[in-house]
Copies of this chain bind each other. A is one copy, B any other.
Amino acid sequence: MGNLIYLDHNATTPTDPRVVDAMLPYFNILYGNPSSIYSLAGEAAKAKEAARESVAKLLNAKPQEIVFTGCGTEADNFAVKGVAFANRAKGNHVITSKIEHHAVLNACKWLEKQGFDVSYISVDKYGGLDLDELKGSITDKTVLITIMHANNEVGTIEPIKEITGIAKDNGIYMHTDAVQTVGKIPVDVNELGVDLLSLSGHKFYGPKGVGALFIRKGTKIDSLLHGGHHEGLRRAGTENVPGIVGLGVACELAMEEREEEEKKLEALRDRLEEGITRSIDDVIVNGHPKMRLSGTLNICIKYVEGESMLLQLDHEGIAASSGSACTSGSLEPSHVLRAMGISPILAHGSLRFSMGRGNTARDIDKVIEVLPPIVSRLREMSPFGKDKEKN
Contacts and interface: CB of A to CB of B under 8 A. Distances in A.
A378 interface: no
A243 B106 CA distance: 25
Interface in A279-334: 307, 310-311, 313-314, 318-321, 327-330
B28 A228 contact: no
Given A12-B32, A236-B106, A40 B319 contact: yes
B307 A238 contact: no
B225 A77 contact: yes
A283 to B, nearest CB: 21
A235 to B, nearest CB: 9
Given A37-B327, A222-B110, A102 B319 contact: no
Given A1-B39, A71-B237, A209 B14 contact: no
Contact of A319 (B12, B38, B70): B38
B73 A237 contact: yes
Interface size class of A (residues with CB under 8 A): 35 or more
Interface of A: 1, 4, 6, 8, 11-17, 19-20, 24, 27-33, 35-41, 43, 69-74, 76-77, 85, 101-104, 106-107, 109-110, 114, 200, 202, 207-210, 222-229, 233, 236-243, 307, 310-311, 313-314, 318-321, 327-330
A30 B1 contact: yes
A102 B33 contact: no
A228 B239 CA distance: 24
A209 B29 contact: no
A226 B40 contact: no
27 contacts: A1-B29, A1-B39, A1-B43, A8-B36, A11-B35, A12-B32, A15-B31, A17-B28, A20-B24, A37-B321, A38-B310, A38-B318, A38-B320, A39-B314, A39-B319, A69-B70, A70-B70, A71-B240, A73-B226, A73-B236, A103-B237, A106-B227, A106-B236, A110-B223, A209-B209, A210-B240, A229-B330
How many copies altogether? 2
A351 to B, nearest CB: 12
Closest 4 CB pairs of A and B: A70-B70, A209-B240, A229-B329, A73-B237
A73 B227 contact: yes
A229 to B, nearest CB: 3
Contacts of A321: 36-37
A226 B31 contact: no
A55 to B, nearest CB: 16
A225 B198 CA distance: 14
Nearest to A314: B38
